[in-house]
């Protein structure tokens, strides 16, 4: 599922019916209806000296093989959640917890880190849910990336709109790169870093849109301008809803000790944490700017009403008395003035004087 905040729509969550059991047992996965989307599995093994990247066609065969002895880190990435058998195979192989499997399949979780401590049979795992944001088809989308971190293994799952991870594979392939030299938790850091960095271009888009709206508010405000401002505010709310838990998650990873997290990774996660703080700073700034634009809009409209009313008042105030005067001399009574030959020019003179003194008075009040 993607939380959408498009135009008129209101965010909504699709939840299982109340009363249904939570958590998905590995054995139940097979019964779930999968989708028809393409699913790709890629595996990268590397150590400082060696690297092997393979597209996994036959997962069962692949999992039956032992990993090469030289591999320090194995990273399995699954793009697409439509093939339940693949998820099942990985869940069995790596002993994933039913609740984590459910969170992975129902892609509407808040960003979070969950610690599933190890037991005698299987080592501890860290289950991490992160959320990216994206502009697609003029709408804001938020996708989920689920990651299972073991001591030497990282398994990641992406939904229907996976991020392009080739640049990261590229960096692994580069001998001597920091990523290549470090452990699985450093790879986790690199992925989180990429996720967080994706927020910046989206925010830049809002920055540009706010710039345009600022101009529009002042120069050609219309009802639609205000709607667009509210739309931006609402989108920013969605971004904030995605960014806050992400900040907490990364702050948590950076601070707390965990058997799977190396101290190098934690030092670098501080940097990601700083970026999160900057993102939240920007979101708050943009929201304040949008609010002040909405205020300006209201004031621009009320200024326009004021101008319009002012014009009516000036016209009315000048002509209504004069019209009355013309009406008087149009009465069919015996009006002495009407017999005078200079009455007509005099009438115009009076009109001119009245109008002129009105105009002067208006100018003095600053209305003209």
Given 281, 349, 352, 357, the residue binding a copy of itself (CB under 8 A): 281
Q: Looking at the DSSP assignment, which residues form a beta bridge with residue 56?
A: 41
When binding is defined by CB under 8 A, the residue of 6, 11, 124, 251 that contacts a copy of itself is 11
Q: Shortest approach of a copy of itself to residue 58 CB, angstroms?
A: 29
Please tell me whether residue 326 binds a copy of itself under the rule CB under 8 A: yes
Query: Nearest-CA neighbor of 24 among 108, 90, 87, 98?
Result: 98
Collect all residues with Cβ–Cβ distance below 8 Å to 67 and sequence separation of at least 6: 45, 74
Tell me, by CB under 8 A, how many residues bind a copy of itself.
Answer: 123
Closest contact distance (angstroms) between CB of 290 and a copy of itself is 10
Q: How far apart are CA 212 and CA 45, in angstroms?
A: 48
Could you say whether residue 111 binds a copy of itself (CB under 8 A)? Answer: no
According to CB under 8 A, which residues from 26 to 65 bind a copy of itself?
none
Q: 209 to each of 10, 173, 216, 290, how far by Cα in Å?
A: 21, 39, 10, 10
To the nearest 10°, report the CA torsion of 265, 108, 279, 195: 40
- Residue list 216-275, contact with a copy of itself (CB under 8 A): 218, 220, 223, 226-227, 230, 233-234, 237-238, 241, 267-268, 270-272, 274-275
Angle at which helices 343-364 and 263-329 pack, to 10 degrees? 160
Given the rule CB under 8 A, which of 32-40, 57-65, 78-86, 322-330 is the region that contacts a copy of itself? 322-330
Q: For the chain, first and last CA: distance in Å?
A: 59
Whole-Å CA distances, 79 to 87, 189, 271, 342: 11, 19, 27, 97
Stretch binding a copy of itself (CB under 8 A), from 20-28, 33-41, 47-55, 152-160: 20-28
* Residue 330: CB minimum distance to a copy of itself, A: 4
CA 344 to chain centre: 73
What distances in angstroms separate CA 284 from CA 227, 244, 250, one per listed residue?
19, 12, 19
Answer yes or no whether residue 321 interacts with a copy of itself by CB under 8 A.
yes
Give the strand pairing for 125-136 and 50-56: unpaired
* 84 lies in the binding site for a copy of itself (CB under 8 A): no
Residues in 177-196 at the binding interface with a copy of itself, rule: CB under 8 A: 177-179, 190, 193-194
- Regarding 105 and contact with a copy of itself (CB under 8 A), the answer is no
Q: Which of 1, 39, 160, 301 binds a copy of itself (CB under 8 A)?
A: 301
**Cβ closer to a copy of itself: 44 or 86?**
44
């Amino acid at each position: 599922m993607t939380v959408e905040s498009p135009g008129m729509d209101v965010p909504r969550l699709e939840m299982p019916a109340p009363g249904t059991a939570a958590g998905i047992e590995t054995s139940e996965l097979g019964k779930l209806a999968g989708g028809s989307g393409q699913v790709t599995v890629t595996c990268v093994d590397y150590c400082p000296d060696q690297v092997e990247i393979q597209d996994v066609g036959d997962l069962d065969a692949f999992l039956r093989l032992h990993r090469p002895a030289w591999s320090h880190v194995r990273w399995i990435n699954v793009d697409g959640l439509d093939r339940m058998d693949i998820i099942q195979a990985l869940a069995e192989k790596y002993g994933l917890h039913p609740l984590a499997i459910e969170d992975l399949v129902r892609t509407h979780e808040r960003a979070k880190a969950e610690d599933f401590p190890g037991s005698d049979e299987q080592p501890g795992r860290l289950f991490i849910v992160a959320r990216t944001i994206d502009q697609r088809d003029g709408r804001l989308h938020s996708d989920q990336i689920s990651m299972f971190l073991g001591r030497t293994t990282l398994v990641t799952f992406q939904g229907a709109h996976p991020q392009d991870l080739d640049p990261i594979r590229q960096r692994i392939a580069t001998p001597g790169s920091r990523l290549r030299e470090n452990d699985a938790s450093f790879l986790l850091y690199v992925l989180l870093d990429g996720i967080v960095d994706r927020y910046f271009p989206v925010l830049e888009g809002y920055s540009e849109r706010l710039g345009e709206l600022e101009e529009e508010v002042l120069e050609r405000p219309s009802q639609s301008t205000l709607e667009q401002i509210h739309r931006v505010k609402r989108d920013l709310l969605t971004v904030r809803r995605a960014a806050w838990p992400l900040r907490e998650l990364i702050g948590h990873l950076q601070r707390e000790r965990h058997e799977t997290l190396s101290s190098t990774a934690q030092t670098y996660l501080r940097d990601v944490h700083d970026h999160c703080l900057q993102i939240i700073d920007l979101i708050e700034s943009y929201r304040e700017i949008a609010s002040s634009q909405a205020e300006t809009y209201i004031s621009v409209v009320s200024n326009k009403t004021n101008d319009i009313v002012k014009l009516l008042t000036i016209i009315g105030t000048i002509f209504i008395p004069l019209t009355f005067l013309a009406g008087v001399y149009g009465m069919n009574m015996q009006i002495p003035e009407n017999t005078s030959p200079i009455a007509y020019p005099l009438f115009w003179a009076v009109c001119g004087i009245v109008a002129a003194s009105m105009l002067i008075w208006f100018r003095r009040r600053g209305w003209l």
